[in-house]
Structure 1
């Protein structure tokens, strides 16, 4: 959709963009004699992604007028692409923020088209697997835990049974017996002064949450976006103490180290214990680290030193085919395959026939030109995310073969950049009755030999 209403007049002035375009052409990587040059990037109110190797100061000067205009207009960012002819005639496309596009942060790509409102990749919908026979660790000692806490907090006021029951009702899961002991000794919060809260934290070994602030780890809040999330898979091996989930109603957060959160785990992995203590890293989107086998161990400082999140071999759930990875699609074919990424190999396009009909395959990303026949995508019945080059998408659209199971999609941008990609993206969005992307086209002249 090309919009001539110019959402921000100053940003939609070609002269405002000339410093950026000239800067991106100075490194010589975008132009060759007698051929047009293509550049693309993003400018936000607080940063930029230009793919330019010049100095920070020169780049800041080039984008400052654009950033001021975005701030005045209340616009977070604008993506751009330009095609510069050898004689300097330039077509500049500005792509405005859209509620249906998840920006490709750090990339010039258009971003991910969200086809299903509020959708998440399957790993962020995964519920914990049952672990029959899982028990508390032998080190869980209610009497020792209570005695230790009362010695360390002789003046603390504990929560009532009614308050503990109310917390359980709010969470929808019972508190572990050890956690109940903790809050019977000190309710913390709710009028406590900072010194009392600090004493409670020192006694337990972390910044302790008040009973009313206990919460489960919400998987959706750890979602890193479709661009990354669609390419991840949950893996919980038979020797794992912690399930590799994004979140669980049985992960009850009770404290923090100032950035990450400690949780009591009621849904452990096959080699774990009910009530073990895990650390949920705010920089990670899946899994958690085992810290202690029990809250008793945690309070007594008996911490695990081998609790790292070892993801190990990605096969068979995730597979990459191409240079430096698997040599064939056949080598990736497995009933458990969920994510297949196809990159350039020896130059021979790949057939998707070996993975046709696989029941769990939900993500396919293929670099432009790597598929022998784009229509073979139709043989993948469970796709929820598809990332292809513009030419492959054109084949699917013309044949009416775009999988309707998709929740999100992406167009890999190389030489095409945004200029021809936005209309293609709008065709895909139309199939799902989603709002179209607004693009403003500007025309100018940078002169020959820029």
Structure 2
């Protein structure tokens, strides 16, 4: 597509989009194009088949009709490729950044609009201060813990001797089971270790140094560290230096799916953060999860402890062991105990949880109905484990009853008749979403932990919310707010989500809050309106 870069090419691609929309009976469609994908945000048809539901998509897949269903779902054959071609044309032959495209039927013709000023549309989202961070989401440059300074001191000989002996025993036992020795490769030299540590500015724990001095990597997934496989030293370095230094276990920007970061088990060993300069990823399960060593633990943790994160973890990490050496010992002990076999591919069938974390059930979801809130909560086996709670379709939800969940950090009340009582101040609730026919915001007055709030209530006064000291993210787009203009007096507000009418109301009153780091406008948002909204916020010097 590099040759598509002239105004004539852009015009021809716009005509192709119009022709495709007319062919498929599309009256309105919006796309967001990035380097790797094109997503359909809104789609309307006049006479053509309606956009299929996900259930219909699954049924089509079972019938072998997935291509036809995908065409209906994404806007018709060829439109995605035309959008990316347009993206490249506008970028001088390169697909860079994000392009939003809108094709809309007007009267007897069609109109095509596109812009590179927005990253999202329907809903439209803006990042006005890229440096702003929510609680638990620190930027790079965290204070350096003691004992991680790079030095030329060789690896502790006592630790090195034990690690070498354990690896040697593992190799012998694995060879007896597999019929051949694992291919771990030759270990690194002290000079290689020092060069790697100098590059990242951190000295590795002695047991991890010793492991790298003994083996190069476990890319064959033999099981030296149980479910975790050691990565080469250069992969540790490149991973650490990619983006912000350290390890980022979850990225949600200013619009995260979950507000709270949940504690691992046992609690208070790993800091509740989404990233840290002092987390070093050194292993993987080759199943979209990774393992990191922690050099800056929480008060009850130990430097050098291990945790896993990735696809199977949502807003938390999983504690594995207090050290590399501890995990290596456990693996060898399991081999000594017998009962371990090898598959035909040479994988050792070690105990399933070896090298894995053990996370109790931290999320509860219940249909409340006409039951009392206390009755529902009484059915939770271990209340202290519950950190995330969904209460659905309840006639009445009593917030005061939640006091039995001492570690509750995130609460979502959905489709309730009424929500009554006061949210106990001693609960560490950081994220709260309430959808109810009736709710009084007095229930949240002055709550010390709450910073992320979404309210979907037909009639609502927000005056009490101004007393919440840390309220940084507020979504009122589903509420009928009687005193919306009070928002410009909320002291901690940094990210605001409203619908188009609410934003218009604030703009007309001259009461749009200053100092916003992010903003969102929900619902179908026409591109011209979204650009006008964005420019008005930027013009105010947000």
Structure 1 length-normalised TM: 0.71
Aligned partner of residue 395 in structure 1, secondary structure:
helix
What's the CA shift for 1:393?
1.3
What's the CA shift for 1:115?
1.4
CA distance in 1, matches of 2:486, 2:18: 43
What's the CA shift for 1:421?
4.0
What's the CA shift for 1:281?
0.7
Aligned equivalent of 2:538, options 424, 429, 435: 429
What's the CA shift for 1:172?
2.6
What's the CA shift for 1:405?
1.8
Paired position in structure 1 for 2:203 = 174
Indicate conservation of the 8 Å contact 2:249/2:309, yes or no.
Answer: no
Distance 1:276 1:185, change over 3 A: same
Aligned partner of residue 204 in structure 1, secondary structure:
coil
Paired position in structure 2 for 1:42 = 31
* Residue 291 of structure 2 is aligned to residue 262 of structure 1: yes
Indicate conservation of the 8 Å contact 1:153/1:199, yes or no.
Answer: no
Indicate conservation of the 8 Å contact 1:239/1:270, yes or no.
Answer: no
Paired position in structure 2 for 1:327 = 439
Indicate the RMSD between aligned Cα atoms, in angstroms: 4.0
Distance 1:283 1:47, change over 3 A: farther
Indicate conservation of the 8 Å contact 1:79/1:110, yes or no.
Answer: no
Distance 1:409 1:148, change over 3 A: same
Aligned partner of residue 425 in structure 1, secondary structure:
helix
Aligned equivalent of 2:501, options 391, 401, 420: 391
Aligned partner of residue 203 in structure 1, secondary structure:
coil
Indicate conservation of the 8 Å contact 1:360/1:382, yes or no.
Answer: yes
Aligned equivalent of 2:471, options 361, 370, 392: 361
What's the CA shift for 1:308?
5.9
Count of residue correspondences:
385
Paired position in structure 1 for 2:79 = 66
CA distance in 2, matches of 1:328, 1:92: 47
What's the CA shift for 1:425?
2.9
Distance 1:405 1:131, change over 3 A: same
Aligned equivalent of 1:149, options 162, 167, 170: 167
CA distance in 2, matches of 1:309, 1:241: 18
How does 1:122-133 map onto structure 2 within 5 Å? 122-125=135-138
Q: Which runs of 5+ in 1 are unaligned?
A: 25-38, 133-139, 189-196, 434-450
Distance 1:90 1:153, change over 3 A: farther
* Greater Cα shift, 291-300 or 272-281: 291-300
What's the CA shift for 1:148?
0.8
Indicate conservation of the 8 Å contact 2:306/2:323, yes or no.
Answer: yes
Distance 1:391 1:170, change over 3 A: same
CA distance in 2, matches of 1:266, 1:305: 18
Distance 1:306 1:180, change over 3 A: same
Distance 1:418 1:6, change over 3 A: farther
Indicate conservation of the 8 Å contact 1:110/1:418, yes or no.
Answer: no
CA distance in 2, matches of 1:66, 1:187: 48
Aligned partner of residue 278 in structure 2, secondary structure:
strand
Q: Which runs of 5+ in 2 are unaligned?
A: 1-6, 44-49, 57-65, 89-97, 147-157, 173-183, 332-353, 363-386, 389-407, 411-427
CA distance in 2, matches of 1:244, 1:406: 25
Structure 2 length-normalised TM: 0.60
Paired position in structure 2 for 1:446 = none
Indicate conservation of the 8 Å contact 2:289/2:309, yes or no.
Answer: yes
How does 1:106-125 map onto structure 2 within 5 Å? 109-117=122-130, 121-125=134-138
CA distance in 1, matches of 2:145, 2:249: 25
Q: Which whole-Å deviations, capped at 9, do the CAs of 1:216-263 have from their partners, x for residues lacking one?
A: 47466842343336x623354893432231111221111111122111
CA distance in 2, matches of 1:397, 1:332: 27
What's the CA shift for 1:335?
1.7
How does 1:364-383 map onto structure 2 within 5 Å? 364-383=474-493
